[in-house]
Amino acid sequence: MRHDTVSARKAGLYSLGVCMSEVIERDRRYEPEFVDIADDSPEAMFGLLSSRGLGDGLPVVAPTRERVEAMLQFATGDADEVLFTLQPRSGIVTRRVVAINAVMAGCPPEVFPVVLTALRALARPEVNLRGVNATTHPVAPMIIVHGEIVKSAGFTSGVGAFGPGNRANATVGRAVRLLLLHVAGAKPGFGDAATHGQPAKYTFCAAENLEATPWESYPLSRGVTAPSAVTVHCGEGPHNVHDAEAAGDPALILDKIGSAMTSLGQNNAPISQAEYFIVLGPEHAASIAERAMTRRDVSNYLFNTARIPAWVFRKHFQELAWANWMKAVDDDELLPMTGDADNIRVLVSGGPGKHSLVVPSWGMTRSATLPLEG
């Protein structure tokens, strides 16, 4: 696979404050060329990136040879092997390219396999990264980390899992975004046409709270049996749902979640393949499981509850990317917000408090859960 434009091969910074790397094909390997600069201070790095239209607007860590090599110690295989490309500009991904950007994001080396696996997931065809990056919708990849790597690499799955304060969560999400900017070409106004953007385009990463999960792990529910895994879902920022009723009645909790799902303003509304991720807080999950409801029961309940009359959909949308059975119903039929209960994905994250999250999809994309791989 050849990519003859320089822009398709740009990868990031490397060495002591080097300028943008170019990669050269040598038997399916792409090796960076280096140009040193004298100053690797945050101010100098920020200035260099800004002058070349790179970076996410925040200071970066200088990707020295030593730092990049330390990152690569947590990967297997040839550092310069071509792994895949990222759309829309077919940017070439190697382990070294990922390591360069992970260093810039401030990642500790232990999280490097998570960044690599998240990118492998984003490169899968069902994710439709070209559409995710190029749409006017403010879509961002949500990264969920599962299994043994959560503890060994220091991710947080409890209080504030999607918020600030944890290096692993924050920097993995940021590294993925830097790679989308530098390699995929998702630069605002160029490869990223999002009208407003959103804060999740800086970083959007949390871990599954397996200790508080009353069912099997989320990857196991999707047939992934590896000790560690990564899920990527491209969607909106999380929508909070609050139910603090003392009884913890599952119907009250899930009815509120269902009401948050029934918005005509979501891309899910006219697209029946669209997914929802329901991130239950541990207290809501416990209340639901105490009534013997399974993860599948939750999905089925929300599928049957989060519904709008067909005529309302037809009034608001001239084009409906619906399953055929949805197109055939009468106007008064109540239709679900997605075409299949399996499109409603349920996992547990967060800490104490009677809150859960609804994360709608962008629409023309599917999530991916992959075993951890370096």
Distance in angstroms (rounded) separating the CA atoms of residues 79 and 246: 54
Token pair, residue 183, equals: 């390699």
Q: Which residues contact 83 (CB under 8 A, 6 or more apart)?
A: 93, 94, 95, 120
pLDDT of residue 45: 87
Left if phi > 0, otherwise alpha if psi is -120 to 50, otherwise beta: which for 361? beta
Token pair, residue 33, equals: 């060329």
Left if phi > 0, otherwise alpha if psi is -120 to 50, otherwise beta: which for 123? alpha
Token pair, residue 345, equals: 């994905």
| Cβ atoms 49, 14 nearer than 8 A | no
Which of 223, 168, 214 lies closest to 368 in space, CA to CA? 223
The CA-CA-CA angle for residues 370, 193, 206, to 5°, reads 35
Q: Tens-digit pLDDT profile for the chain (374 aa)?
A: 233 333 333 334 453 333 333 444 445 677 766 656 678 888 888 888 888 889 999 999 999 889 999 999 999 999 999 999 999 999 999 999 999 999 999 999 999 999 999 999 999 999 999 999 999 999 999 999 999 999 999 999 999 999 999 999 999 999 999 999 999 999 999 899 999 999 999 999 999 999 999 999 999 999 999 999 999 999 999 999 999 998 899 999 999 999 999 999 999 999 999 999 999 999 999 999 999 999 999 999 999 999 999 999 999 999 899 999 999 999 999 999 999 999 999 999 999 999 999 999 999 999 999 999 98
Q: Which residues contact 151 (CB under 8 A, 6 or more apart)?
A: none
pTM for this prediction: 0.92
CA distances from 171 to 127, 160, 204, 310 (A): 22, 15, 9, 43
Which of 86, 226, 70 lies closest to 146 in space, CA to CA? 226
